[in-house]
Amino acid sequence: MTTFFTSDTHFGDMRILRIDKRPFKSLAEHDAALVANWNALVGPDDTVWHLGDFALGPPDAAVAALLDGLNGTKHLIVGNNDGPGTLQAPAWASVSHYAEITEGDTGLILCHYAFRTWNAMGRGTLNLHGHSHGLLKTAPKQYDVGVDVWAFHPVTLEQIRARRRVTRIKHFGGPAEPAEEA
């Protein structure tokens, strides 16, 4: 059993291709690719923490069906674009605005938003977040788990810790600021 993290999938969100310049020809292609990427990595017995902005736009029944089609036990940390259909979908194991969990021997603070400070940051706890789509200069021990940063798929803590630099390109040109390794 493996634990994965992701954020900012924006399933069904017509704006996402334009705003984030995601490399898909249509929203249907975008959504299908993200589902395929998720299910290629995540097995039925794995856990996924989705750190917000799961879906925006599809009817409630479509959100529920989409969520049912994704592998794993799924937890939602609420994002600013998560509407009632997302929040009330029955397939979530939990829905909250914030969580403190432990993965192996590492404490994790999970929120849609990045923090300047967080509980136990001086004792090695990491802050995993979304919302910034790879455009925020991060602090040490802080990681954006959004799909824009991670080739449109969920990631493990091991993958997060192994990455020393963010390679995503900013919307207005130039490379994103490098992320510091914990």
Q: What are the helix and strand counts (H, E) for the chain?
A: 5, 9
Residues 6+ apart with CB under 8 A from 11: 31, 34, 54, 55, 56, 58, 63, 66
Structure-block tokens of residue 144: 């954006």
Q: Which domains does the chain have, with CATH numbers?
A: 3-162 (3.60.21.10)
User: How far apart, in whole angstroms, are the C-alpha atoms of residue 82 and residue 90?
Assistant: 14
Instruction: For the chain, 182 residues long, give each residue's pLDDT as a single digit of tens.
Output: 999 999 999 999 989 999 889 999 999 999 999 999 999 999 999 999 999 999 998 888 999 999 999 999 999 999 999 999 999 999 999 999 999 999 999 999 999 999 999 999 999 999 999 999 998 987 889 999 999 999 999 999 999 988 754 444 333 344 444 444 44
pTM for this model (two decimals): 0.89
Which of 175, 94, 100, 111 is CA-nearest to residue 137? 175
Structure-block tokens of residue 82: 């998560």
Which of 122, 169, 113 is CA-nearest to residue 141? 122
Backbone φ and ψ of 177, nearest 5°: -65, 140
User: How far apart, in whole angstroms, are the C-alpha atoms of residue 103 and residue 2?
Assistant: 10
User: How far apart, in whole angstroms, are the C-alpha atoms of residue 80 and residue 97?
Assistant: 10
pLDDT of residue 74: 98
User: How far apart, in whole angstroms, are the C-alpha atoms of residue 153 and residue 61?
Assistant: 23
pLDDT of residue 139: 82
